[in-house]
Amino acid sequence: MGTHKLHSELKTFLLRHRIKLGRDRLHLLLKEHGMLAKKKASKVATTDSNHPHYKYPNKAKDLKPVRINELWPGRRCGQ
For the chain, give every domain's residue range: 3-32
Q: 14-73 pLDDT, tens per residue? A: 999 999 999 999 999 999 999 988 888 888 877 777 888 888 888 888 888 888 888 877
Angle at 30 between CA 24 and CA 33, to 5 degrees: 140
Distance CA 36, CA 31 (A): 6
pLDDT band, residue 79 (cuts 50/70/90): very low
Strands of 1-79, DSSP E = none
